[in-house]
Amino acid sequence: MRIVFLGSGAFGIPTLDALSARHEVVAVVSQPDKPAGRGKVLTPTPLAVRAAELGIPLTTPIDINEPSVCAAVRAHQADAWVIIAFGQKLSRELIDGVFAVNLHGSLLPAYRGAAPIQRAVMDGCAQTGVSVISIAERMDAGLVYATRSRAIGASETSDDVHDALALLGPEVIDDVLVRRNAGVLVGAVQDESRATRARKLAKSDGTVDFAARDAHSAAAWINGLNSWPGCTVLIGGLQVKLLRVREVVGGEQGIEHGIEPAVEPRASATLGQDGRVRAKAGVVEIMEVQPLGGRRMAFEEFIRGRQQLVGSPIVPVAGA
């Protein structure tokens, strides 16, 4: 099939690779280069970089709905448009009469919106997945052509789940294209009563209060914030990002381990030698951290030279 691919983020790279091997990708449309890093150097999107490596014709319009751009994209007369994390709303004039599908990072109608993967992890969901849908006027409300699901591990971060879901893209998109080519593709209407929203994350989301959350909720929230905006806390006055944690099942037993002498049960939200923290209910184990100005490291390495922090309160950072 002749394919036009619209995408910007790394989420679409595995699918672009697969499509370019099995079909004729006649064009890739991506977002324009944007300033990145401390030097604010103009940098292409991850998808644009991959398209260039594959030698696929690339266009990066400021507005894909601008009439001349719209005409140029439609002129490819592709059999299908595949849209993955593109970043611009597509007008009715652009997609009128076009078979276009979108790969979304949730099991729709759950988590419509900008941050479906992060919100699913932050909410402590047991599983998530991807959906291939038609383009609709309302965000992520199109017909569902196919889904694939996947469990969320106890210590998996949003970045982990993002990368795993991206690898489901090639199979599920190919399934939809094969059924479309065979004339047997049928879409299912989404159940609006089950629709939920995935609000875009803000920097102010990036902290946690262990004393106000149970262990499952706290662990899910922290892992869901990785890698942006990250979960920043103060431990004995030191600013630290919590990168990866897990809920400790049955962890209330022996929680005082690491504080000598253990005269009384450890207070909520104080740091143990073993990286365990009592939440409002239950226990969380800190696995990976990044101190301010430092590098990512395992908790064991972090605490080795910072024994004075054992027993210190873990305090949320206001407006993190």
Q: Are residues 148 and 46 in the same domain?
A: yes
Classified as helix, coil or strand, 3 is: strand
- Of 182, 198, 214, the position where a domain reaches its end is 198
Whether residue 255 is predicted with pLDDT greater than 60 in this model: the reply is no
> Does one domain contain both 245 and 265?
yes
Quote the tokens at residue 150: 């996947």
Helix (H) / strand (E) element for 17: namely helix 13-22
- CA geometry: angle at 1 spanning 13 and 179, to 5°? 90
150 and 230 assigned to the same domain: no
pLDDT at position 69, please?
A: 97
**Residue 254 pLDDT > 80:** no
Last residue of a domain, one of 164, 198, 232: 198
pLDDT of 250: 74
- Predicted confidence at residue 37, as pLDDT, reads 80
- The closest of 167, 180, 94 to 135, measured between CA atoms, is 94
Judge if 88 and 161 occupy the same domain: yes
Q: Does residue 79 share a domain with residue 103?
A: yes
Q: 281-316 pLDDT, tens per residue? A: 999 999 999 999 999 999 999 999 899 999 999 999
Q: pLDDT band at residue 256, thresholds of 50, 70 and 90?
A: very low
Domains in the chain, number: 2
Residue-wise pLDDT for 60-69, tens only, equals 999 999 999 9
pLDDT band at 266 (very low <50, low <70, confident <90, very high): low
Residue with tokens 């990250």: 230
Phi (first) and psi of residue 16, to 5 degrees: -60, -45
The CATH number given to whatever domain includes residue 29 is 3.40.50.170
Nearest 10 degrees: CA dihedral of 35, 37, 41, 43? -60
Domain encompassing residue 37? 2-198
The answer, as to whether pTM is greater than 0.85, is yes
Query: Where are the extended beta strands (E) located within the chain?
Result: 2-7, 24-29, 34-36, 41-43, 58-59, 80-84, 100-104, 112-113, 127-134, 144-151, 197-198, 231-235, 238-248, 276-278, 283-291, 297-298, 314-316
- Domain CATH number, residue 238: 3.10.25.10
Is residue 257 predicted with pLDDT exceeding 60?
no
State pLDDT tens for residues 176-229: 999 999 999 999 999 999 999 999 999 999 999 999 999 999 999 999 999 999
State the pLDDT at residue 318.
Answer: 77
Q: What is the pLDDT of residues 90-123, one digit of tens each?
A: 999 999 999 999 999 999 999 999 999 999 999 9
| Strand, helix or coil for residue 47 | helix
Residues 190 and 213 in one domain: no
Q: Is 142 helix (H, G, I), strand (E, B) or coil?
A: coil
Cis peptide before 261 (omega within 30 of 0): yes
What is the Cα–Cα distance from 229 to 320, expressed in whole angstroms? Answer: 8
